[in-house]
Structure formats: structure tokens, C-alpha cells
Structure 1
Amino acid sequence: MPVIVLEARDFSSPIFLVRTLEVISGCITFSLVASLEPPKDPSDLHPTFRIFCMFIWCFFFTLTLLIHILSIIQFHSLIPISWKNLTVTTAVLGALMGLSASVVFPWMVIDHQGSLQRPVAAAVASCITFLAYSSETCILRTQAQEQRGYMGSNPGLLKILQLWGGCNMIPLVLGVVQSQWSALGTPSGVLSWQLWVSAVLYSVCVLMSLVTLVVILGDFAGRCFLPFDRFLAGFSLIGVFLYMFATVICFTKILQLKEPGNRASAQMTELIIMETVVASITLLAYTVDLAFSIKLLCDRSHA
């Protein structure tokens, strides 16, 4: 089978240019961060969030590079994946996770570096990467619904937001655990219970989001043992209940910080507040998504 390459005019298209910028800026970002000195204090939170940011930059660099190459040689039609859903998911999730890395890296990592030239340059490159993914998202969102797929619709974007929230909870919970361990030695029974419950809740929600994403990208909706709209509504309902519980736990932690004699550090307080904010945003995403699912089920029942 001959290899078909894009025409010359396609190399100056907006989508080609923003993907090229994503690849270049992403490569520059993780290369600069990889050259930084390792942390000297093993009890610091710097390594956890540095690994989180590095994973984001490396993962989306690799995925975008593959999408870019397959788009150029026009081999994407041979892959058993919904291409339109894959591209819009990568663009939107890359923008959201790039925003997280662009916030977390200066907040948690730059202060622990002696020389600031390369860390600041990496932070700027990360912001450029975020802007590039945001631009691709806007370009794809201007396409017709048939071209951008389900993940480009409002319910699809909400599911990407849910996955973003769950992925951000992982380093936040790890950071809270490490901060409490450093401040209190061995965390109390109440704190340990809260941490374990939070970890389980977030893990279940991330797993549900990944299953939904695999079903949509693999076009497996017709093979589900339940109608796909009911399948999504059930996941949304479970997510609402789990994140309601998780949000209550987060606000409980904030109230515990105000108790007299609390030895929580300023860093741990910031992490708990950030966890509460992300949990609230994700709960809102699940709630709106559930409303969309219920509306769709009602419309189909009356049709």
C-alpha cells in the first residue's frame, strides 16, 4: 500500500502548525526539567510533583507526536480507533493537564531550585504548550459535530473534565499524605481513614472515566451489555455520589485545620484547599453530565 502524504498546502494549515508547536514546546519543556538538579531533601514534596509534571509533558508529547506523524502519512484510517474522538480528547485533555503542570511546576518545584534560568524557561515552555493545546481545542471545536465526534460535544467535554479531576487528585492526595506524615509523624486514625477513603473514591472515578474513554475511542458502544446512554448515566450517578462524599471529606479536612493546636504546615493547608477546589469542580462536572444523561434518556423515551 503506497504511503500518502499531506499536500503542500496542508503543511500551513492551523491544525498542522499548532501540533508542531505542541511537539516542539513539549520536548523543550521536559528536556529542561530533566536537566535540573535532583532534590536534596527527601522529605520535600518537590519529587512527587516533579514526576507528575514530567509524566504530563512526556505522555502528551509522545501521543501528539504519534498523532502528528499518522496525520502526515495519512495512516490513521488503518488504526482501529475513533480518530476524531482521539484527536479532540488529546487536545482538550492536553490543555487541561498542561494547565495543571503550568500551575504546579512554578508552585511546587521552582522554589526548590538554586538557579532559576532553566526552571523559568521550562515554566514558560509549559505555558506555551498549554496555549498550543488550547488553540487546537478551539480549532477542533469549530468543526461540525460529525467531524469532531462525541468527545467534542458538551457531554464529551464534561467526561474529559472528570478524567482531569481524577488525575489531579492522585498527586494531591500523595502530597497531603507526605505533608501529614512529616508534620505529625504517624497520622491519626481519623486522618488515615480520610486518606484511604479519598484514595479509593478517586481511584474508582478515574477507572470509570478510563472505561468510558476506552469504549468511546474503540467504538465499543454497540457491544455493551447495556444501552450506552444508560451506561453513561449510571457512571455519572455513581460519580456524583462518590465526589459528594469526597467533597465532604475535603471540607472536613479544612475545618480540622482551624482546630486549636493543629500543626499543619502552610504547604499542607494549600494542598488541602487545592484538593477541595478540584473535587468541587469535578463534582460539578459529574452533576451537569448526569443532567445531560437524564435529558437524553427522557428525550428517547418520549420519541
Structure 2
Amino acid sequence: MPVIVLEARDFSSPLFLVRTWEILSGCTTFSLAASLEPSELNKNASNLQHLHTFRIFCMFTWCFFFTLTLLIHILSVIQFHSLIPISWKNLTVTAAVLGALMCLSASVVFPWIIMDHQQVSPRPVAAAVASCITFLAYTSESYVLGTQALEQRGYMGSMPGLLKIIQLWGGCQMIPLLLETVSGPPNGVHTWQLVVSGVSYGACVLMSVVTLVVILGDFAGRCFLPFDRFLAGFSLIGVLLYMVATVICFSKILQLREQQSIPDKSGELVIMETVVACITMLAYSVDLAFAIKLLCDRSHL
């Protein structure tokens, strides 16, 4: 079949321009970060493990969303997305919002790992600035997509869909934080706390991925349970698991306060984990409220 390309006026549309902006800024960001030498990041040898873990996280974020945005952009230009067996409107909203959240995290984490009180090289600063510009680009696309009608945005553009994107984002943040806690120096955190936290975060990430696959693949009608009950059950489990994880995070803070010899970086990691856990638990709680309201409304019909 012939390939249909956008008309001339479509190349000046806000969506086309903002995706081009994302590709250019994303490519600039990971290119600058990949060219950095270890000595340009931080001269403090005690922070090398932190640099390794979180630099991988930042590089993965920039490279993954650059690749995903480039594919979406190409498919949009040649109008080939109708042949892909996924929900295109849900995919584009998910990529934009999740890209904005993940690039925001990278824009916070990357300056944190390059901090050096003696001297900071120009290239790490340029990479951090480029990451912030990339975050603004994805935020702009989220705004452009948010101005469309709900039918064009799909389920992921609604409030429950956005909450599920926040839940997935929270789980993605916990992976490097937990890996850093496990592989880092002893910090007084009990093994059972790490195991329970890891199980909680892993189960929630798995539920978020399953939900995303069902929505993007339009598999809701094939579920063995009604999809609204399916989502309500996942939200309830997420609330309970993150309540446990949040309690453990606060107990870690109390333990670190009692141990004055713990390095500052360990305390910062625990605080970051606690903040993200609270935000994610709030997202699950509000999502559960939406799910219960939907079930109640349908029961009265």
C-alpha cells in the first residue's frame, strides 16, 4: 500500500514541532553525558558507586525516550501507525507524560551526582541543562495532548490514566534506589526491610506494566474479570504494599538518625525513597477512590 505522508501544514503543527524538539534535545543530552570522563563527574572516590548506578539510570532514561519518541515521530509522519496493533492515542499520551516525569527525575539526579564543591566541568553542566530542556519538551507535548478532546487522548489521558503513569514512574524510581541500598556500604538497614521493600516495589511495578499492556493492547475485553474490578483490585493491592513500604522508609530514617557515622549520601537516598514512596502511595489512593466510584456508579445502573 502507498505510504501517506503528512501535508505541508502539518509540519508546522505544535505536536510536530514539540516532538522534533524532544528528539534534538534528547540526542544532545545523552551525547553530552556519554562523552563525560569519570573525573568530570565527581572527584570524591566514595561516591563512585552512586555515580555508576544513577548514571546508568539517567542514560537509560534519555536513550529510551529518545528512541521511543523518534519511532513515534516517524510513524506519525508517514501515517503508518494505523497498522500497528496498539492503541496509538494511549501510547502517545503515556510516552509524553512518562517521558516528562522520567526526564524530571534525571534532571534532579544527574546534577546530584555531578556535584563537586571544588570544581564542576562545563560538559556535565551542559548535560544537566540539556536534560532540563528535554523535560520541558515532554511537558509541552503533554500539554498539547491534554488540550485535545478526551476521545483523542484515550484512557491514559484521563485522570485515572495519568495516576497509573505516576504509579509506574514511582516504581521506576525505586529500582535504582533499592539497588543502590543493596550494593552500597552497610548503612544499618535490616535485611528484612530490604526484602519487604523490594517485594512491594517489584509487585507494584509488575502490576503497572500488566495494566499498561492491557490498555495499550486493547485487551480489556479479553480479561477474565471485568476491567474496572481488575483495576480496583490492583489499586487496593498497591495502596497496601506502598503503605508497608512507606512505614519501612520512615523506620529507616529513624535508624539513620540514631547512627551518626552513616554517610550523608545514605541519608539522602532514604529521604528520596521516602518522598517517592509517599507520592506513589498517594497516586494509588486517589486511583482507588476513582475505581470505587466507578464501581458504585455502575452498580446503580
Aligned length: 296
* Structure-2 residue corresponding to 1:90: 95
| Deviation of 1:26 (Å) | 0.3
Whether 1:72 and 2:85 are equivalent positions in the alignment is no
Given that residues 114 and 120 in structure 2 are in contact (C-alpha distance below 8 angstroms), is that contact kept between their aligned partners in structure 1? no
Whether 1:53 and 2:52 are equivalent positions in the alignment is no
Given that residues 101 and 126 in structure 1 are in contact (C-alpha distance below 8 angstroms), is that contact kept between their aligned partners in structure 2? yes
Given that residues 110 and 116 in structure 1 are in contact (C-alpha distance below 8 angstroms), is that contact kept between their aligned partners in structure 2? no
d(CA) in 2 for partners of 1:110, 1:271: 15
Q: 1:210 corresponds to which letter in structure 2?
A: V
CA RMSD of aligned residues (A): 1.6
d(CA) in 1 for partners of 2:114, 2:196: 28
Whether 1:286 and 2:290 are equivalent positions in the alignment is no
* Structure-1 residue corresponding to 2:168: 163
* Structure-1 residue corresponding to 2:22: 22
d(CA) in 2 for partners of 1:272, 1:205: 19
TM-score norm. by structure 2 comes to 0.95
* Structure-1 residue corresponding to 2:243: 244
Q: What are the ranges of 5 or more consecutive residues in structure 2 without an aligned counterpart? A: none
Q: 1:8 to 1:221 in 2, by over 3 A?
A: same
d(CA) in 2 for partners of 1:76, 1:113: 50
Question: In structure 1, the residue corresponding to 2:190 is in which secondary structure?
Answer: helix
TM-score norm. by structure 1 comes to 0.94
Q: 1:109 to 1:178 in 2, by over 3 A?
A: farther
Q: 1:236-275, aligned counterparts within 5 Å?
A: 236-259=235-258, 261-275=259-273
d(CA) in 2 for partners of 1:258, 1:131: 37
* Structure-1 residue corresponding to 2:12: 12
* Structure-2 residue corresponding to 1:173: 178
Post-superposition CA distance 1:130-185 (Å, at most 9, x none): 00000000110111110000000000000000000000011111222344x2xx3x
Identity of aligned residues (%): 76
Post-superposition CA distance 1:12-48 (Å, at most 9, x none): 0000000000000000000000000136848531010
Given that residues 19 and 136 in structure 1 are in contact (C-alpha distance below 8 angstroms), is that contact kept between their aligned partners in structure 2? yes
Q: 1:274 corresponds to which letter in structure 2?
A: M
Q: 1:104 corresponds to which letter in structure 2?
A: V
Given that residues 162 and 285 in structure 1 are in contact (C-alpha distance below 8 angstroms), is that contact kept between their aligned partners in structure 2? yes
Q: 1:237 corresponds to which letter in structure 2?
A: L
Given that residues 87 and 215 in structure 2 are in contact (C-alpha distance below 8 angstroms), is that contact kept between their aligned partners in structure 1? yes
Given that residues 50 and 109 in structure 1 are in contact (C-alpha distance below 8 angstroms), is that contact kept between their aligned partners in structure 2? no
Q: 2:236 corresponds to which letter in structure 1?
A: L
d(CA) in 2 for partners of 1:69, 1:251: 46
* Structure-1 residue corresponding to 2:154: 149
| Deviation of 1:113 (Å) | 10
* Structure-2 residue corresponding to 1:37: 37
